[in-house]
Amino acid sequence: MSNYRRRYVIVIFLIAQAFGPIALGADEVRAPCCAGTWYPGDAESLAKTIDGLLGEASPPRIEGRPLALVAPHAGYRFSAPVAAVGYKSLEGHSYKRVIAIAFSHRYAGTYNGVDVPKSLTAYRTPLGDVPIDREACEELIKSKLYSSHSNIDREEHSLELQLPFLQRAVPGFQLVPLLVGEMSTQDYAKAAEALLPFLDEETLIVVSSDFTHFGANYGYRPFRSDVPAKLMELADQAYAPLENADFDGFVEHLETTNDTICGRGPILLLLRTLSMRGGAKGVRAAVDSSGRMLGDWANSVTYQSIVFVPRPDKLNPEERAMLLRLARRTVTAQLSAKDHIQLDEEEVPASLKVEGASFVTLKNRGELRGCIGNMVANGPLWKSVVQNSVMACQDYRFAGNPVTVRELDEIELEVSYLTPLERINGPEDIVIGRDGLLLQWGRQSGVLLPQVAYELGWTRSDFLDALCRKAGVPRGTWKRKDSVLYSFEAEVFSEHELHP
């Protein structure tokens, strides 16, 4: 190699070390910036450290396949034991894609939306390269709130510190690395909507965040006495909305406490994404603080690991399939002008003969063609589905353009099984992604199913305003003392589940 060539290679190497990733031929790899400082810098030590922590971790029992994980990102000396318990919860599961949502401590306030790498092909750690899902990144960057910014992740640790754990806990995945910047409440819904197409059974979301940063070093001292107990109380308050994947509740926590949660943006994007999928259940795997570890509470950072799983179903797959078949047979008979279906009740399992309320929805290529239901059970659940299937074909809103037999093959049926109504006191009791609402004021009433709110990414305020419009009453009527507000849950399933 000539001296000129040698000097050129050395210059390229020095630039790469100083400025992070650099294109070399067709590949562009993001080099690690924290190896050897924030965590062990050689492969053997790093693997031994993580494997040891995972081996010692004792996570709580978690029902269902994990959808997402919130894990801390401080130096491994402090955060790794807490992170390990969360990652241990992934044991026995595999994922082909991991969407890692982090942020830049230095540059998060300098851009709007979400940063997506434009040309990176991999993130490198001492354990090897993590390939990037270029196809997903390129699709996301077409969305309005997603863009690429040079060097946003330069010297940034929040995403990098998650990767070695992922490499040991769920190897064989492709990475979608996202760094959240400034966003409004409406922006979070739009950014979440862009993520939804990628959230299949083989995709995991990992959010990187520490929790409360307490003390003079962080400019946050809301209390001066009994610090350990009050920090734990603050951790519990932050976890409470996460337990229900409650976007609005977490916003309220931040606004009322000014809690110094550094990854609030990534957490908000996760919560909005989960709520727009019909909600989730968060389970705290571990919690600790640097104050306890060091025995010094003058300054302390709280760490939590939280695993999110699907909300538990009330009906099993066989029961859902039975109700969908009943709805299909009824709609077919109704639109074909045939007699009502003949059914031997012995075909119906006992679990569907208990009292239950339902809604039946008809859609033609996503367009609503009928939706009728009953809020209060007035007989067996299976009969409710049959009766509402008939009525959905006659939805008065489509009297001028009723659904016809010609549409039968294009109609997709959706059934919502409703839980009993529960009176609520105010918006703080509402969780988007879980709750539907019924408003009664005098003779006026209105009802909106849960999916109406979560599919549109509404906030509690949006939901209540729409509910008033549905009831034909002035905005804010729900606040009146003579109005009554109820919530209910709806387990929603469609024929798409039977024939994906």
**Strand 213-215, strand 299-309: pairing:** antiparallel
The span from the CA of 159 to the CA of 132, in Å, is: 13
**Strand order, beta sheet including 128-131:** 22-24, 27-30, 122-125, 128-131
Domain locations along the chain: 32-309, 317-498
The span from the CA of 483 to the CA of 232, in Å, is: 38
Distant-in-sequence, close-in-space partners of 443: CB < 8 Å, separation ≥ 6 = none
Residue 445 is predicted with a pLDDT of 95
What is the band of 187 on the pLDDT scale with cuts at 50, 70, 90?
very high
pLDDT over 70 for what percent of the chain? 94
The span from the CA of 416 to the CA of 395, in Å, is: 16
Residues 131/122, Cβ–Cβ less than 8 Å: yes
pTM across the whole model: 0.87
The fold of 317-498 is Dna Ligase; domain 1 (3.30.1490)
Closest CA to 290 of 52, 452, 40, 78: 78
Model confidence over 82-102: pLDDT tens digits? Answer: 999 999 999 999 999 999 999
Residue 340 is predicted with a pLDDT of 67
Model confidence over 282-336: pLDDT tens digits? Answer: 999 999 999 999 999 999 999 999 999 999 888 999 999 999 999 999 999 999 9
The span from the CA of 490 to the CA of 295, in Å, is: 47
Whether 317-498 and 32-309 are alike in CATH topology: the answer is: no
The fold of 32-309 is Protocatechuate 4,5-dioxygenase; Chain B (3.40.830)
Under the phi-then-psi rule, with left for phi > 0, alpha for psi from -120 to 50, and beta for the rest, what region is 331?
alpha
Residues 385/416, Cβ–Cβ less than 8 Å: no
What is the band of 79 on the pLDDT scale with cuts at 50, 70, 90?
very high
Model confidence over 22-69: pLDDT tens digits? Answer: 433 346 999 999 999 999 999 999 999 999 999 999 999 999 999 999
Q: Which two tokens stand for residue 189?
A: 């819904």
Q: Which amino acid, residue 267?
A: I
pLDDT, average across residues 149-175: 95
Residue 2 is predicted with a pLDDT of 42
Strands (E) located in 181-280: 203-208, 213-215
The span from the CA of 191 to the CA of 272, in Å, is: 9
In b/e form, how buried is each residue of 187-204, taking b as 16+ CB within 10 angstroms?
A: bbbbbbbbbeebbeeebb
Residues 102/266, Cβ–Cβ less than 8 Å: yes
Model confidence over 328-372: pLDDT tens digits? Answer: 999 999 999 876 677 778 888 899 999 999 999 999 998 999 999
Model confidence over 452-467: pLDDT tens digits? Answer: 999 999 999 999 999 9
